[in-house]
Structures are given as C-alpha cells and as structure tokens.
Structure 1
Amino acid sequence: MRTCWESFEGYFLRALGREFGQPLLPRGLDITLCDQFALIASGLMWNVYLAVVSLVAGFFLATALALGKFSERAVLQRPAAAFIFLFRGSPLFIQFFFAYEAFVLLPRAGFVINLFFVEITAETRWLTRAWAGALVVLWLNTSAYTAEIFYGALRAIPRGDLEAADAYGMSGWARFRRIVWPTMLRLAWPSYTNEAIFLTHATTLVFFSGFPAWQQSGDALYYARYFADQTFNPFISYPIVAVYFIGLTLAIIWLFGAANRRLNRHLPQEARSRFRFRPQYIR
C-alpha cells in the first residue's frame, strides 16, 4: 500500500506527461484516496493553465474589441460588434466542437508560406490538441464576454470625468491612459471577476469536447472520470474536483478583490464598488 507521500511523488506531475510521473495509472483495488487527490490535482494544472492564459490574452483582445464597438467609425464598430455577438450568441460547447472539426480539416502537414527567398511550413496538427485548440476557443469566448463588460463600463464613464480631462488639456493617448482606462477598469472589475470565475469553471467542458487528451495528460475531470470508472464510485472523485474548484474560486475572489481595492484606493470607503458573486447557469 502506497503512502500519501508516494502517491503525490508519483502522480502529482503525471498530467504533464508520462515522463514526469508513474508511466501507468493506478487500477482497481490499488487505487487509494491519496492517489485520487494527487492525480486530480495534477489534472487541475491544465484547468489553471487554460484559465490563466485565456484570461490574460482575452483581457487585451477584449479591450480592443470594446474600444472598437465604442468607436463611432463603422469600420471598427461593426466587426467588433459582430464578433461579440457571434461568440456571446452561440453556446460555448458548440464552439468547442465546431473549432475541433475545423482544425481537423486543416492540412496535417501544415501550410507552406513562400517568402520568395525562403519557404516556411506552419504546423497545424497541434491545434487539434486540447492544450492549444481548446485554449483558442476559450480565449475567443472570454474575449467576447469581457469586451461586452468593458463596453458597458465605457458607456458608464461619468461625463464629468471626461469634461475635466478636456479642461486640463488632455486628449488622445493621455486622456485614455489617465482617465478612460482606469475608470473603465474600476467600473468593470466586479463583473469581470465573475467572468474570471465562470471561465475557470468552464475549463471543465474541455473534457466533454472533441479535443482528446494526449497520452492520458488530461484535466481534473479526466482523472475524476477515470477513478469513477475504476472504482464504480463517483461519490469520491467528483467531490474532490468540486473541492479543488471551490479553492480556485476563493483564490480568484481574493486576487481580484485585491486588484479591485487597488483600483478604488482613491475613493472613500462607501463609494467603492463591491464584488457580488453572480453565477451564470446558462452561457
């Protein structure tokens, strides 16, 4: 019987590849509670990876989309509004399947880009794997939702703040950097916190999508399903996943709460916006 330390030593990095842990997964009666905690925690690294990378990349794309939709120029406003409507109007689960089928249709050998003096082959096979293809879908999806949040914040910026900026002679980049940008973030941050929480939870949908786990390097739900099938008892592995995600949710609330306090540090206590957890049951 393995000790808990042996379980974590052998399986904690197992989701990164067989070379990082035991080559074989525990089976049948050899499975212990510590094995389940260790392997599910290992798979959770992929959920954290998908959430963090898509949130960071989506933050910048969402800012550009929000500014585009807020723009008075039709050449910027219409494409941004269409992108936001497309990804907010269709289910995330369908986006996973559509993207996977589209990536599978790409040439397996990749695209050859002729630069006259040299030819470059752009690989496409990696897009059919969850760590890349599913990340693209989550990135585009959260960018659309976050852009709508930022767009609403841009519309809610007090006119007095903009008039004060004009009175001080601010225009262009200086006005955006010192007035529009921080005010937008301050107004949007509580809603953006909810989006970060939901996106972290939505990473579990990758397991049900068409993107396969490669060499048993799956996420937390992948290993929970494996243990449920091996032990015929889903009332241990799935609650472990729930406990881990509750911990992630608390970490997000604490981290984003600290950022929210930083953004509102110049306001009196009673005027500061507060975070309210509002789960979205339907995406």
Structure 2
Amino acid sequence: MSACLQTIQDYALRSIGIGERLLPRSDFTLCEQVVLIGSGMIWNIYFGIFALVIGFFLATGLAVAKGAQNPWLRKPAEWFIFLFRGSPLFIQFFFAYFLFLNLKSNIEFFDPFTAAWLGALIVLFLNTAAYSGEIFYGALRSVPKGDVEAADAYGLTGWTRFKRIIWPTMLRLAWPAYTNEAIFLFHATTLVFFSGFPAWQQRGDALYYASYFADKTFNPFVPYPILAGYFILFTLVIVGVFGLINRRLNQHLPGEARAKFKFRPNLLR
C-alpha cells in the first residue's frame, strides 16, 4: 500500500509536468499502470471539456446561420458543416498540423499551434461544432410553430424571442442527440495520440501511457482494459451530468413528454 501511495505521489500529475520526470523502465506494477494512464486522462478531459464548451457556442451560431434566409450566412455554415462532417477526423488532425507547421515557419505567432494542447484542441472543437451544429439545426427546424406564434402574440421579437423561446426549445429537442456527440467527442480525444501533434517531453494522453506499457511488457491485456475502464467511467459521468441538464431543460413538461436519452453508436465517425 505504501509503495502504491508513493507511486501516486510520483506519477499522478506527471502528464502536466508535476512529479517524477522519468518513466518506470522495468518491473511494472499494476498501480503504476493505473496511475500513469489515469494521469494521461487529464489531457483527454482537457481536450473534451474545452472542445465541447467552445464548440457549443460555435455550433449554435452555425445552426442559426444555416437556417438563415441570407445566403451569405447560410452557405458558409453549410459548407463548414459539410467539410468537417464529410472528412475523417484523423485526416483533419494531420492537415491542421502540417498547415500550422507551414504557417509557423513564416509567422512566429503560430508556434504554439503545432503543440497538441492548442492545435489538436482547435481541430476537436471545429469538428464537434460541425456535428453539433447539424444536430442543433435539425432541432431548430423542429421548434413548433405554435411556440413562435405565441411569442409573437406576446410581443417577443428578435433576440428576445430567440433567447427565451426558440433557443431553449431547440436545446430541449437536441439534448439527447447532443449527449451522444459529447460522448463521441470524449472518445475521439484518443486520436490525438495518433495525430501529427507531438507529446511534449513524453507527457502524453492516456493512450500514450497505455501504449508505452503495452510495448514494454508485450502484454496489451492489462493497460488497454485499464484505459477502457477510465473511458467507461467518464462516459457514465457525462451521461449523468447531461441527464441532469436534460431534466432541467424538460422540467416544465409532464413525465411522458420529456425527451429521453438513448445511446446510439456513431459508426461513421
């Protein structure tokens, strides 16, 4: 027990540069694998949370723009969504990395963009914004006309009508599907390991450490199940948190009319 506590002290925050710098080289214990893979999860959580939060606002704007009558707003939104939904996320990572690398060679400002903490985050938030924007657009088109007409009858127009009537109804309709997108985004953070964005000073994400132990021990049946266990745990957290938000959004409706969350695997991601 004392050895495991020492391992936690040495490696729990290693992925963010706190604690022991050198990785264990031999005689790997189960505690070391659990702690180091858990340390790498800090980066997966970072990518997931920030991409989701920033992407949420961009997705809302994309949904509104795609539903606009003005083609100068509608067409860019349509092409943005089509581009990021139509191309594989893996290719987007490589394209963005080499794009930032070329820009970095000419403009010093783009130097941080070649690092995973910023460059990979940008790709993830643009990708999830495209998927979420399409979800929100579908929900926006499904807003009952009676709700809009009632808002007009009460004298609500423009931004006030959107903020108080259309946007909450859109979120209520889109939330179950958006919960799925949040889960898939969190899972997609593992692709950062395979992208061109390098891990700085061996401070990678959870898959980085799981692959390290699998390569050193020639036994993938310990680190990868540990990694899967962490993702299952955080998936349950996402489902729980989004479920509470969904309940909040639907609190004014009778129980049988509330939208239910259903997990639907996204096979085309």
TM-score of Structure 1 vs Structure 2, range by shorter chain = over 0.9
Query: TM-score of the superposition, structure 1-length normalised?
Result: 0.93
SS at match of 2:266: coil
> Which residue is 2:43 aligned to?
46
> Which residue is 1:209 aligned to?
195
Identical aligned residues as a percent = 64
- Contact map agreement 1:11 1:22 (CA 8 A) in 2: yes
Q: How does 1:263-278 map to 2 (within 5 A)?
A: 263-278=249-264
1:46 alignment partner AA: W
Partner Cα separation in structure 2 for residue 173 and residue 13 of structure 1: 45
Aligned residue pairs total 269
Partner Cα separation in structure 2 for residue 32 and residue 95 of structure 1: 37
2:100 alignment partner AA: F
User: CA offset at residue 226 of structure 1?
Assistant: 0.3
> Which residue is 1:95 aligned to?
92
- Contact map agreement 1:109 1:125 (CA 8 A) in 2: no
User: For 1:84, which of 81, 90, 106 is the aligned residue?
Assistant: 81
> Which residue is 1:7 aligned to?
7
> Which residue is 1:239 aligned to?
225
User: For 2:215, which of 213, 229, 232 is the aligned residue?
Assistant: 229
Partner Cα separation in structure 1 for residue 106 and residue 148 of structure 2: 53
- Contact map agreement 1:190 1:276 (CA 8 A) in 2: yes
With 270-279 and 100-109 compared, the bigger mean Cα shift is at 100-109
User: For 2:34, which of 34, 37, 41 is the aligned residue?
Assistant: 37
Q: Which has the higher helix share?
A: 2
> Which residue is 2:178 aligned to?
192
Stretches of structure 1 lacking an aligned partner (at least 5 in a row): 112-122
User: CA offset at residue 281 of structure 1?
Assistant: 2.3
Stretches of structure 2 lacking an aligned partner (at least 5 in a row): none
2:131 alignment partner AA: Y
The superposition leaves residues 4-34 of structure 1 with CA deviations (integer Å, 9 ceiling, x where unpaired) of: 11111100000002xx1112100122x1110
Partner Cα separation in structure 1 for residue 16 and residue 150 of structure 2: 53
User: CA offset at residue 126 of structure 1?
Assistant: 1.1
Partner Cα separation in structure 2 for residue 108 and residue 131 of structure 1: 19
Q: CA RMSD in A?
A: 1.1
